[in-house]
């Protein structure tokens, strides 16, 4: 090698950042964050009937499963060490009504699924979604009157929905509806019904995002919502101070954990909320993020395993404690290698 011409002996770097990066062992030692199976929650879609599995066209690798098959699938997740699942129902069109009353039916799909899973895997955590969109013929998270999504009337039914799911045996109720005042009202309702130990995770900073499209296909709410949007209750993607106010309210109302959603485009929000409140922060790696990645993988443009693990690690780096991801099972397998 020729003598350095431009880097003279006086200007040679004493601090060389690359030294610590030379070996696998030293990279492991200086690594600042870790991703573990303990960080993962697996969102799953449940369908009526028996021995039924349906692919979700816009979410490669994701299926809706009937309860019998779902119990086996979450059993595999449990064996892999995944702490919890979140259930989303694909509700039959003829059960959808303007008042969304199927949400409070003690024998609805979600309640039956909770009971079936708890009977076989009592130690697997179960989150259930609180919102009316799977049951509402309008495809909205709340009750609609004269084109408006009603707040206080919706909160009343969400309280009943929470009690209904708690009776079925869920561990955490997770309101994703973004109505004002719902966390406090649900806490009071749960406590009055004797469910003081049921946890609450609010979707605190939930944005009106284009990245939920494939999820709405998966739960069959996209048709009802049509060209409508959820901008009068979900947050404007341009805002960040507002996420702090939303989260402060939910914590004050008794939220045990909070969530930021979507995930990867909103890492700044994850970081701010973790810094500001120091409470358990979840992040949702949503359907659209999942589908973008899988579409690129299918085209041979991204390496699946590396893209999955890097995406999830970035959530940890931003400050998330819990990651909701459709990749939970494959990530758990990769992490076990």
Determine which residue in the list 84, 85, 111, 133 makes contact with ligand PBG, applying CB under 6 A.
133
- Of 16 and 231, which CB lies nearer to ligand PBG in the complex structure? 231
Give one word for 144, left, alpha or beta, with left for phi > 0 and alpha for psi -120 to 50: beta
- Of 73 and 179, which CB lies nearer to ligand PBG in the complex structure? 179
Least separation in angstroms between residue 182's CB and ligand PBG is: 12
- Of 210 and 276, which CB lies nearer to ligand PBG in the complex structure? 210
Choices 13-21, 33-41, 103-111, 128-136 (CB under 6 A): range interacting with ligand PBG: 128-136
Cα-Cα-Cα-Cα dihedral sign, residues 244, 240, 282, 233: positive
Catalytic residue among 96, 230, 261, 294: 261
User: Restricting to residues 286-305, which ones interact with ligand PBG according to CB under 6 A?
Assistant: 286-287
- Of 30 and 238, which CB lies nearer to ligand PBG in the complex structure? 238
- Of 179 and 318, which CB lies nearer to ligand PBG in the complex structure? 179
Q: Active site includes 227?
A: no
Query: Counting contacts by CB under 6 A, is residue 129 touching ligand PBG?
Result: yes
Query: Counting contacts by CB under 6 A, is residue 86 touching ligand PBG?
Result: no
Least separation in angstroms between residue 151's CB and ligand PBG is: 15
Contact, 320 vs 272, CB < 8 A? no
DSSP state of 46: E
Residue 129 bridge partners (DSSP) = 174
Q: Is 81 helix (H, G, I), strand (E, B) or coil?
A: coil
Query: Counting contacts by CB under 6 A, is residue 141 touching ligand PBG?
Result: yes
Q: Which residue is nearest to ligand PBG (CB)?
A: 215
Q: Active site includes 206?
A: yes
Which tokens belong to 301? 């443009």
Ligand-binding site membership of 330 (annotated): no
User: Restricting to residues 202-261, which ones interact with ligand PBG according to CB under 6 A?
Assistant: 212, 215-216, 230
Give one word for 254, left, alpha or beta, with left for phi > 0 and alpha for psi -120 to 50: left
Contact, 170 vs 114, CB < 8 A? yes
Q: What HEC string does 215-253 produce?
A: HHHHCCCHHHHCCCCCCCCCECCCCCHHHHHHHHHHHHC
Name residue, tokens 């949503």: 286
Catalytic residue among 96, 206, 230, 294: 206
Residue 295: count of CB within 10 angstroms of its CB: 13
Report helix angle 152-168 to 109-120, nearest 10. 30
Binding site for ligand PBG (CB under 6 A): 129, 131, 133, 141, 176, 212, 215-216, 230, 286-287
Active site residues: 206, 261
Annotated binding-site residues read: 246
Annotated binding-site residues for Mg(2+) read: 246
């Amino acid at each position: 090698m020729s003598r350095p011409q431009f880097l003279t002996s006086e200007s040679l770097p004493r601090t060389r950042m690359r030294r610590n990066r030379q070996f696998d062992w030293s990279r492991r030692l200086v690594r600042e964050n870790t991703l573990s199976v303990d960080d993962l929650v697996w969102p799953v879609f449940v369908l009526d009937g028996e021995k039924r599995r349906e692919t979700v066209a816009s979410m490669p690798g994701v299926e809706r499963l009937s309860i019998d098959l779902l119990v086996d699938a979450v059993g595999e997740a449990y064996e892999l060490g995944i702490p919890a699942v979140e259930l989303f129902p694909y509700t039959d069109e003829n059960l959808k009504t303007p008042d969304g009353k199927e949400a409070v039916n003690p024998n609805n799909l979600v309640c039956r699924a909770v009971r079936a899973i708890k009977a076989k895997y009592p130690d697997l955590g179960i989150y259930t979604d609180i919102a009316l969109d799977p049951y509402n013929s309008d495809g909205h998270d709340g009750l609609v009157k004269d084109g408006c999504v009603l707040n206080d009337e919706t909160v009343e039914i969400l309280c009943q929905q929470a009690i209904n799911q708690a009776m079925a045996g869920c561990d955490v109720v997770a309101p994703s509806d973004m109505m004002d005042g719902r966390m406090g009202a649900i806490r009071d309702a749960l406590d009055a019904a004797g469910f003081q130990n049921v946890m609450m995770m609010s979707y605190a900073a939930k944005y009106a995002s284009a990245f939920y499209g494939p999820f709405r296909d998966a739960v069959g709410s996209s048709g009802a919502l049509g060209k409508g949007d959820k901008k009068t209750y979900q947050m404007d993607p341009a805002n960040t101070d507002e996420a702090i106010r939303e989260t402060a309210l939910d914590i004050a109302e008794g939220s045990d954990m909070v969530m930021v959603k979507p995930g990867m485009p909103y890492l700044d929000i994850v970081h701010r909320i973790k810094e500001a409140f120091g409470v358990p922060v979840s992040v949702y790696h949503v359907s659209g993020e999942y589908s973008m990645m899988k579409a690129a993988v299918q085209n041979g443009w991204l390496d699946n395993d590396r893209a999955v693990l890097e995406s999830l690690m970035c959530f940890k780096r931003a400050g998330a404690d819990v990651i909701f991801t459709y990749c939970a099972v494959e990530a758990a397998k990769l992490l076990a290698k």
